[in-house]
């Protein structure tokens, strides 16, 4: 990056906030932005949420996608075609993200890979001098989460975590109502995800690695094992080696707003029950049914998830509720409402969602990047760390079968069985970063 562009990334605020365009208007708008004012973005992991993130980035006319990286050349080809159909420039293509990070033109790296890669990729991106947008949860273990936080502090780069509900206006409005105190004292909060769109993961035999896939790079620090399509695109999230099931897939989004609304980040204890109740014989390892109860000293938080059932609390497939002595605030991605306790307060009818949360979230990141205002990030590394830590605690309570107690000063549990799940074992020659 030349010095003119470097100064722009640090301090300039050339374009107005909120200048997000429809994808079909991009090409013409981008030609009106000076090359010195471009923010050059690279994506690692383009199969699912990673490409959704990239699509939100390139809706902003100052953004140019200069590189794509994926271990599956079939994905690289598809996403290149997608960008070319938008009349956007041909990006450079990489299979190994480490080679991509050598590209000095890249300003921002978007990390949309499976969770077990997030820590290494974020740390390597920071060490290469890049800013980053990293998908949630920020790490697959508590140790990785803490390492990522320390790396961001050391390198001083802008990092936004993909918890885009932090930028969605109706979520902000709901929290403003919550903080007004009208609900009275809140003793119980709930967050839940009921997913009827997902069923069993039938067991299938291992197969040769598909053509065009660098499977060794996909595994990275995870244990070596034969290729199986269940542990590859999308369904990798149901195996502990790569992710944390629904607790970290949906839970991180929803629990985040309980922590935010209640002004808490660390529970005293967690206990969890559940199992493979819906599909006991399928290939999924993480639980399809789970309840976790967190003690925050002056209130409890209950997390629930089920797979195969779509009707959750308050007839919502997903959501959060803050149960106060005067009424209950119910919040999900579609809107929020207040249900009074008898006649203590007035009801608030459903306040519907407005705007595209992901687009607003990306715009917030770009504005902070251009203005050098990390304190204005809607979901910086501290936000990402806080909820990832709480979600991992819930999974550890489930996996150990214990009620676990957390010592925040020591960053450890009070039992050795739980502590064994704090730090991952890296395999295949990869090393856990030291910070």
Below-50 pLDDT ranges, the chain: 1-18
Q: How far is it, in rounded angstroms, from Cα 407 to Cα 404?
A: 10
pLDDT in tens, 111-159: 999 999 999 999 999 999 999 999 999 999 999 999 999 999 999 999 9
Provide the CA 345 distance to its chain's centre, in angstroms: 35
> Does 169-353+386-419 match 3-166+358-381 at the fold level?
no
The structural architecture, per CATH, of the domain 169-353+386-419 is: 2-Layer Sandwich (3.30)
**Domain extent listing, the chain:** 3-166+358-381, 169-353+386-419
Give the whole-angstrom CA distance, residue 99 versus residue 119. 17
Q: State the CATH class of domain 3-166+358-381.
A: alpha beta
Please state the pTM of the whole predicted model: 0.93
pLDDT at 37: 82
How far is 297 from 162, CA to CA, in rounded Å?
29
Residues 6+ apart with CB under 8 A from 34: none
Per-residue model confidence (pLDDT) at position 104: 97
DSSP string for residues in 360-420: HHHHHHHHHHHHT-GGG-TT-HHHHHHHHHHHHHHHHHHHHTS-EEEETTTTEESSHHHHT
Give pLDDT, residue 28. 54
Name residue 206's beta-bridge partners: none
Q: Which of 128, 135, 148 is nearest to 46 (CA)?
A: 135
Q: What is the pLDDT of residue 32?
A: 63
pLDDT tens for 244-269 read: 999 999 999 999 999 999 999 899 99
């Amino acid at each position: 990056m030349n010095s003119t562009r470097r100064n722009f990334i640090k301090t300039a605020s050339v374009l107005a906030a909120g200048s997000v365009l429809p994808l079909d208007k991009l090409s013409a708008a981008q030609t009106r932005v000076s090359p010195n004012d471009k923010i050059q973005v690279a994506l690692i992991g383009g199969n699912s949420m990673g490409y959704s993130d990239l699509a939100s980035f390139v809706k902003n006319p100052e953004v140019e996608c200069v590189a794509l990286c994926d271990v599956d050349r079939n994905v690289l080809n598809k996403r290149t075609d997608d960008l070319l159909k938008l009349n956007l420039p041909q990006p450079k293509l990489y299979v190994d993200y480490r080679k991509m990070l050598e590209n000095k033109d890249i300003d921002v790296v978007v990390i949309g890979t499976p969770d077990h890669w997030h820590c290494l990729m974020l740390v390597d991106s920071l060490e290469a001098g890049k800013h980053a947008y990293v998908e949630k949860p920020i790490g697959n273990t508590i140790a990785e989460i803490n390492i990522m936080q320390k790396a961001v502090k050391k390198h001083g780069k802008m990092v936004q975590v993909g918890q885009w509900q932090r930028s969605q206006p109706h979520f902000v409005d709901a929290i403003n109502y919550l903080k007004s105190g009208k609900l009275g004292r809140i003793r119980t909060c709930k967050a839940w995800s009921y997913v009827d769109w997902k069923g069993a993961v039938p067991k299938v035999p291992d197969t040769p690695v598909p053509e065009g896939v660098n499977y060794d790079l996909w595994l990275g620090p995870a244990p070596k094992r034969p290729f199986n399509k269940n542990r590859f695109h999308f369904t990798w999230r149901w195996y502990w080696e790569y992710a944390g099931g629904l607790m970290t897939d949906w839970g991180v989004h929803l629990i985040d707003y309980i922590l935010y609304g209640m002004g808490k980040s660390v529970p005293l204890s967690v206990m969890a029950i559940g199992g493979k109740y819906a599909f006991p014989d399928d290939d999924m390892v993480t639980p399809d049914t789970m309840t976790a109860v967190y003690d925050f000293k002056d209130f409890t938080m209950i997390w629930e998830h089920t797979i195969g059932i779509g009707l959750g609390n308050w007839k919502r497939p997903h959501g959060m509720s803050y149960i106060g002595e005067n009424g209950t605030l119910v919040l999900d991605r579609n809107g929020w409402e207040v249900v009074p306790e008898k006649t203590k307060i007035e009801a608030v009818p459903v306040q519907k969602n407005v705007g595209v949360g992901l687009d607003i979230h990306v715009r917030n990141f770009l504005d902070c990047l251009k203005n050098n205002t990390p304190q204005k990030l809607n979901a910086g590394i501290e936000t990402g760390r806080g909820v990832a830590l709480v979600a991992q605690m819930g999974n550890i309570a489930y996996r150990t079968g214990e009620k676990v107690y957390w010592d925040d000063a020591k960053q450890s549990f009070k039992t050795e069985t739980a502590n064994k799940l704090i730090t991952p074992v890296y395999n295949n020659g990869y090393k856990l970063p030291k910070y």
